[in-house]
Amino acid sequence: MSEKIPYKIYLSESEMPKQWYNLRADMVNKPAPLLNPGTHQPMTAADLAPVFCDDLIKQELDNTTAYFDIPEEILSFYKMYRPSPLVRAYFLEKMLQTPAKIYYKFEGNNTSGSHKLNSAIAQAYYAKKQGLKGVTTETGAGQWGTALSMACSYFDLDCKVYMVKISYEQKPFRREVMRTYGASVVPSPSIETEVGKKILEQHPGTTGSLGCAISEAVEKAVTSEGYRYVLGSVLNQVLLHQSVIGLETKAALDKYGVKADIVIGCAGGGSNLGGLIAPFMGEKIKGEADYRIIAVEPASCPSFTRGKYAYDFCDTGMVCPLAKMYTLGSGFIPASDHAGGLRYHGMSPVLSQLYDDGLMEAVSVKQTDVFEAAEKFARIEGILPAPESAHAIKVAIDKALECKETGEEKTIVFGLTGTGYFDMMAYEKFHDGKMQNYIPTDEEIAENLKQLPKV
């Protein structure tokens, strides 16, 4: 291509994807099914119906349909903040003096501040279509809760968010964004649910945990008429919706005749990584093209690199279905010092299977290295990244510097999932030299893995 590649590639509205891509349809080894925690039999649609919306259950269980039409209403909402730009990191390349060509797909230009909105709007749409009154969910730092609030406001659905109490109190700003969108935000544990009351009785001064918030949200959904529970990561349906990230990225590259060599994404539950890599992985599986695909996880929560591929509970309360995934054990909680998301003990079953099949790599990175990369990136590319996203930045820079050593002109694409405007307390710690690098010991991980269910 002789045409100069612009700093930012925006697809036109007519070039935006009209369908989501279901990578599972092309996987040779399908992801293992969710199991009923009581019977250890695969969960059926009927088993899931009290918890999830009907259409979402169909998407969750479908391992064969390669493409799902994106409903018109969702396409219309997508146009509010999509297409997101694929940015050519000219400034970063110049600073690194690398022959590598670096691109990043930036998902932060919306009020939720991240890619989470792509699935939130889909889940809200199907809830509305089913005639539900509302949905429940949990949130930690609040990225997912914010996205869901925006989506529910758009479809006039009630939105109940159980927010981990310590975040509710210490991070009031995202809570206020959620309130702006009409969500009711409840500090968890609360006295609104049986599980919440029980935990409060046992631990009166508790500041809450994500596991507890999940349990409350699920209980509220299954005990309230016209409500279902929704989740922002891990699930197959979420990766399906997030494929819009990868499809746009690939379309933008194809438009300029660019072939990616390395695709990099941060990984917590896997929603962003699964979405970003979907069309690349699909081609790789079918032998149409080869890509090096790298998952980046925090050294403080290293499910891919130090976890075990096994059936495990999805929540600490052990009430949700069992999923086969790379896991650190459902009791594992990363150090409170760890900033941002990517705190989940497990990993999307789809990505777990792909990793187990050797189709992708994984690396873990230390927190201070991540923030160093984040600050470097903010200064040179002008975007202050979310700590989550900065994991991918760190490894993209590493790979670009390797190219500098070898002289290879590789094309590196990474996912910049969001902005860090609500994470400034972590940046402050970093600036003040007070940030720690917590890395779990082998014994700690082994101890937690003892709790795996016998399946």
Q: Which residues bind its own copies (CB under 8 A)?
A: 6-8, 10, 12-13, 79-81, 91, 109-111, 113, 150, 153-154, 172-173, 176-177, 179-182, 375, 378-384, 419, 421-422, 424-425, 427-428, 431
In terms of CB distance, is 150 or 281 closer to its own copies? 150
Q: Which residue has the tokens 């009791």?
A: 331
Print the SS3 string covering 240-280: HHHHHHHHHHHHHHHHCCCCCCEEEEECCCCHHHHHHHHHH
Pick between residue 303 and residue 419 the one whose CB is nearest to its own copies. 419
Q: Which is nearer to its own copies, 321 or 418 (CB)?
A: 418
Compute the distance between CA of residue 339 and CA of residue 283 in angstroms, rounded to an integer. Answer: 34
Which amino acid is residue 53, in one-letter code? C
For residues 335 and 448, the answer to whether their CB atoms sit within 8 Å is no
Tell me how far, at minimum, the Cβ of 102 lies from its own copies, in Å: 14
The nearest distance, CB 260 to its own copies, in angstroms, is 22
Nearest approach, Cβ of residue 108 and its own copies (Å): 9
Among residues 110 and 303, whose Cβ is nearest to its own copies? Answer: 110
Output 106 or 332, the one with its CB closest to its own copies. Answer: 106
- What whole-number distance in Å separates Cα of residue 339 and Cα of residue 387? 7
For the CB of residue 83, give the shortest distance to its own copies in the complex, in Å: 9
All residues at 6 or more sequence positions from 189 whose CB lies less than 8 Å from its CB, including other chains = 165, 195, 196, 197, 199, 200, 206, 208, 212, 213, 216
Cα 56 from Cα 33, distance rounded (Å): 15
CA angle 132, 62, 123 (to 5 degrees): 30
List of residues 6+ apart from 73 with CB closer than 8 A: 125
**Between residues 318 and 380, which has the closer beta carbon with respect to its own copies?**
380
Residue among 11 and 34 whose Cβ is closer to its own copies = 11
Smallest separation (angstroms) from its own copies to the CB of 14: 9
Looking at the Cβ atoms of 249 and 303, the one nearer to its own copies is 249
Smallest gap from Cβ 350 to its own copies, in A, equals 29
Supply the minimum distance, in Å, between the C-beta of residue 194 and its own copies.
29
314/341 Cα distance (integer angstroms): 16
Query: Which among 167, 354, 341, 333 has a CA at the least distance from the CA of 268?
Result: 341
Q: How far is the CB of 231 from its own copies (least distance, A)?
A: 22
Other CB atoms within 10 Å distance of the CB of residue 63: 16
Strand partners of residue 135: 159, 228
Calpha distance 19→17 (Å, rounded): 6
First-to-final CA distance of the chain? 54
DSSP 278-308: HHHHHHHHTTS---EEEEEEETTS-HHHHSE
The minimum distance between CB 180 and its own copies, in angstroms, equals 5
Q: Which is nearer to its own copies, 372 or 402 (CB)?
A: 372
